[in-house]
Amino acid sequence: MAQSGEIKLELGSRRKLESSGWTTFDLHGADIDYDLNRGIPLPEDTVEVIYSIHFLEHINFKDLLNFLEECREC
């Protein structure tokens, strides 16, 4: 299991960032293929930084604040 603040996370990347130290999440083609509409499947306080570009607009607006809160808790 990851230690506190150990993971660098990229959301909605659609690509693997080989040898970059980032863990990528997306529906297909990332390090972890996962539907982020279901939340982020990581324990609290394990993520050092989250990067995302052209992704948040794909989250249902009514779920967006909850998703951002979940990002903060990671």
pLDDT at position 16: 66
pLDDT at position 73: 92
- Delimit the domains of the chain by residue range: 7-73
Q: What is the pTM of this model?
A: 0.77
Helix (H) or strand (E) run with residue 62 in it: helix 61-73
Query: If you average pLDDT over residues 34-53, what whole number do you get?
Result: 89
Length of the chain, in residues: 74
CB atoms within 10 A of CB 2: 13
pLDDT higher than 60, residue 69 = yes
Q: What residues form DSSP beta bridges with 9?
A: 23, 50
**Could you give the CA distance from residue 61 to residue 16 in angstroms, rounded to a whole number?**
27
pLDDT at position 1: 47
